[in-house]
A and B are shown apart, each in its own frame.
Chain A
Amino acid sequence: MRKTVNACIAVIFIVCICTVTVLTLSEYGRKYAYGFFKSYKDRLDDDSDIFDNVEARIYKLNYNAENRLWGRDALRHLTVRFQMALPGKDIVSIGGASMVHLTSGGYYNLMDGPLAQSKIDDITEFAEKAADMSGAKTLFVYCHCALFEDGLLPGDTRYLDNNGAFADEMLASLSANGVQTTDSRASYVRAGLTMDEAANKSDVHWTHIAALETAYDAARALSDMGINADYAALERSRFTDEVHPSLLMGEYARRVGNALVIPDDVHVLYPSYDTCVVYEELNYDYSYAEAAFDEAVLNYQNAETDEKLAYQYLRRDGTFREAVINYDNLAPDEGGYSSTAYYIYGHYLAQTHTHNESAPESTVLVFKDSYGTPVSAFLALSCRDVYAVDLRSTHKTMLEWVEEIRPDAVIFAYSQQMLRDIEYVIDDGTGNDL
Chain B
Amino acid sequence: MVFSSSAFLFFFLPITLLLYYACKKNRTLSNAVLTVMSLMFYAWGEPRFVLVMLGSIVLNWLIALSIGKSRSPSRKKLYLALGITLNVLILGVFKYAGFVIRNINALGAHIADPGIALPIGISFFTFQAMSYIIDVYRGKGCAQKSLMNVCLYISFFPQLIAGPIVRYETVALELTGRRETLDDFTEGVRRFIIGLAKKAVLANTLAELVDKIYALENASALAAWIAACAYLMQVYYDFSGYSDMAIGLGRMFGFHFPENFVLPFISKSVTEFWRRWHISMCTWFRDYVFFPLGGSRVRTKARLIFNMLVVWALTGLWHGADWTYVCWGLAFFAVLVFEKLTGFGKWAEKHAFGHFYAMLAVVVITVLIRSSDITFAFRFYVSMLGLGGAGLSDGLTLLLLKEYAWCLALGVVCSLPAGEFLKRRLKIPDAAWQLACGIAVVACGVLAVSYAASGGYNPFIYYNF
Contact surface of A with B, Cβ cutoff 8 Å? 1-3, 5-10, 12-14, 16-18, 20-21, 24, 51, 54-55, 58, 61-62, 65-67, 69, 71-72, 75-76, 78-79, 82, 86-91, 93-96, 98, 155-157, 159-160
Contacts and interface: CB of A to CB of B under 8 A. Distances in A.
Contact of B402 (A10, A76, A155): A155
B47 A54 contact: yes
Interface string B433-465: 011011001100111011101111100000000
B183 A6 contact: yes
B399 A2 contact: no
Contact of A72 (B182, B441, B453): B453
Q: From DSSP, what is the main secondary structure of chain B's interface residues?
A: helix
A67 B5 CA distance: 11
B147 interface: no
Give the residue among B17, B396, B442, B453 with the most A Cβ atoms within 10 A.
B453
Interface stretch (B6-14, B57-65, B98-106, B374-382): B6-14
A5 B44 CA distance: 34
Give the residue among B11, B13, B44 with the most A Cβ atoms within 10 A.
B11
A89 B431 CA distance: 36
Nearest to B407: A86
A110 to B, nearest CB: 10
13 contacts: A1-B435, A14-B17, A54-B47, A58-B44, A61-B7, A69-B453, A75-B450, A88-B403, A93-B208, A95-B456, A156-B402, A157-B399, A160-B399
Nearest to A68: B6
B457 A9 contact: no
Contacts of A65: 5-7, 10-11
Contacts of A13: 189, 193, 445
Interface of B: 5-7, 9-11, 13-15, 17, 43-44, 47-48, 182-183, 185-187, 189-190, 193, 205, 208, 212, 394-396, 398-399, 402-403, 405-406, 430-431, 434-435, 437-438, 441-442, 445-447, 449-451, 453-457
B206 to A, nearest CB: 12
B324 to A, nearest CB: 22
A7 B186 contact: yes
Nearest to A18: B14
A207 to B, nearest CB: 27
Contact of A93 (B14, B43, B205): B205
A107 to B, nearest CB: 16
B96 to A, nearest CB: 24
B357 to A, nearest CB: 31
A17 B9 contact: yes
Contacts of A160: 212, 396, 399
Give the residue among B6, B205, B447 with the most A Cβ atoms within 10 A.
B6
Given A17-B14, A65-B5, A79-B451, 4 more contacts: A1-B435, A10-B190, A12-B442, A17-B13
A10 B453 contact: no
Given A17-B9, A58-B44, A9 B186 contact: yes
A9 B395 contact: no
A9 B456 contact: no
A346 to B, nearest CB: 27
A20 B9 CA distance: 10
Contacts of A72: 6, 453-455
Contacts of B441: 9
A66 B10 CA distance: 10
Contacts of A5: 434-435, 437-438
A157 B395 CA distance: 9
A2 B434 contact: yes
Given A58-B43, A94-B454, A86 B187 contact: no
A76 B434 contact: no
Contact of A75 (B17, B442, B449): B449
A88 B14 contact: no
A214 B405 CA distance: 42
Contacts of B212: 160
Contacts of B6: 65-66, 69, 72
Contacts of B451: 79
